[in-house]
Amino acid sequence: MSQHNSLERQIELYKNALERERLSRERAEDLLESRTSMLYLVNQKMSSQYEQMAKRNKEISYLNSVVWILNESNCNEEIIKKYLDLTCALTGWGPAGGFLFVDEDLNFLNSNLVVSSKNNMSGISGFENLSKELHEIAPKKEEVNKIFKKPRKIEIGKNSYFIMPMEVSKSIDGLLIFECSKDLDESSAIIDIVANGSYQLTNYIERKKSEEKLKNNFAKLKDTQAQLVHSEKMASLGVIAAGVAHEINNPICFVLSNTETLLKYIKSLESLIYEYRDLANKKLDKESIVQIHKKEQEEDVDYILADCPELLRETVEGVNRVKDIVSGLKTFSHIDEADEKFVDVNECVESTLKIIWNELKYKCTLHKDLGELPKTYCYPGQLIQVFTNLLVNSSQAISEKGNIYIQTLYLSNEIIIKIRDDGSGISEENLKNIFTPFFTTKPTGKGTGLGLSISFGIIKKHNGKISAKSKLNEGTEFQISLPIKDSL
């Protein structure tokens, strides 16, 4: 019995053990299931995150590409076309086109059209038709600005289009148009990405536009400056032209008159020679000798013979003077010469004096003290323009009679040029402004107000300095210092 009992108890024990095992297996299975499903969920989540990351990646690479094409492309049309292609590739939209408004009217019919590479569906003619449709929706600037201010989807016929403005300088310069699916969600994230791309694009176009404007303005400024320099030169020329006219006309006057006189002399001598020839064939008698003497007196032949060398000497002198004046003018016309030359600045001073001596000599006594100078690289024509300017100013500051002192010297590797007059002088107030463009105390039409400012510019270009000291009623002194430049 006891054996039977113990068997039963053992069976009981096994049963219990079995039950426990079953329960724990069930528990383990449950656990496994829940873990598996958890794993599955995690997996799913990861895969969706991966997808999102891939998408993000695609978007970032899209934006990167947009920035890249901006830097790599030459013209706006090329940039826009590449942008359209990139965007079509990212979104699956397309074909796409960009309308660039030509004029202020923002008229679709009068705009440049850029089409994406993917244009098989509607093609260029499709976009041209589209421009007509759009023109009907928004015929003028006002409507365009209102309807397309923000990116939006519109339906035309059977098709849907996603449209973004290209806003440059706060006004719409063009539109980017993508054929898209009817159920494009206007609030979807992709719209933001694409809009960001178009923002980069328009920003770039705007920057390029203002750069171009800046470049144009700069070119215009340079042009104006050149014109001003030229007109100043003309003004200086005007001042000396009067002197030159007088100075050339004087020698021409006596050269011309002398030449005509010489012609008359020749005629007199000629007629006398004929008389003598006649006489040579005749027998000499007293009467014919008296006759020929009378003829000689009539023709003033002693005077003519004595005067001929004098007349010719004066005439040659006159012609030489004209030659000198003309060669002086030639120096002046070389003012615009672009090349630096290795010259003695004293030569520039001498050339200047040659040109404007006619202007100075009537009222100024010139005191010249030109020291020995080393040669230096400079723009000789421009220095002549500066010296002309200062000397003409000095001469104009002298009302009746006065002195002009020109001194050059070489001091611690610099060439110093001093031009001083004892004319009317400049007031303290005006002295501050003399190098300011357009500042002049001369009456309208007499001075451009540019002479000294241009001189200032020229000296600065030579890395030199120009300064002025002056006292009213005592005179003015300009000092120029030019550093020696012994190689180019």
Partner 1 sequence: MILFLDDEINVLRSIERLFRAKKIVIHTTTNPEEALRLIKEKEVKVIVSDFRMQEVNGIEFLKKVKIIQPTTYRMILSGYADENLINSAIQNEDIHEYLLKPYDQESLINKIKTIYLDRGGDGSTNTESR
Interacting residues toward partner 1 by CB under 8 A: 242-243, 245-254, 256-258, 260-261, 264, 300, 303, 307, 310-311, 314, 317-318, 361-362
Return the amino acid letter for 168. V
Question: Within its chain, how far is the Cα of 389 from the centroid?
Answer: 27
β partners of residue 404: 366, 421
First and final C-alpha spacing in the chain: 132
CB of 363 to partner 1, least distance (A): 8
Say which residue the tokens 């610099």 belong to. 414
CB of 423 to partner 1, least distance (A): 18
CB of 211 to partner 1, least distance (A): 52
Residue 144: how many CA atoms within 13 Å on its side-chain side?
27
Token digits for 459? 């000296």
Say if CB 59 and CB 193 are below 8 A apart. Answer: yes
Closer residue to partner 1 (CB): 8 or 310: 310
CB of 274 to partner 1, least distance (A): 20
Specify the DSSP class assigned to residue 110. G
Residue 95: asked if its preceding bond is cis (omega within 30°), the reply is: yes
Closer residue to partner 1 (CB): 173 or 247: 247
CB of 288 to partner 1, least distance (A): 25
Closer residue to partner 1 (CB): 104 or 400: 400
Closer residue to partner 1 (CB): 321 or 465: 321
The alpha helices in 73-188, defined as continuous H runs, are 76-91, 123-137, 141-147
CB of 424 to partner 1, least distance (A): 19
CB of 314 to partner 1, least distance (A): 5
Q: Which long-range contacts does 188-191 make (Cβ < 8 Å, 24+ apart)?
A: 190/59, 190/90, 190/91, 191/151, 191/162
Say which residue the tokens 């008389």 belong to. 275
Closer residue to partner 1 (CB): 77 or 307: 307
Closer residue to partner 1 (CB): 33 or 260: 260
Closer residue to partner 1 (CB): 26 or 260: 260
Sign of CA dihedral 371, 373, 379, 380: positive
**Distance (Å) of CA 429 to CA 46, 432, 470:** 82, 6, 11
CB of 446 to partner 1, least distance (A): 12
Closer residue to partner 1 (CB): 21 or 300: 300
Say if CB 271 and CB 292 are below 8 A apart. Answer: no
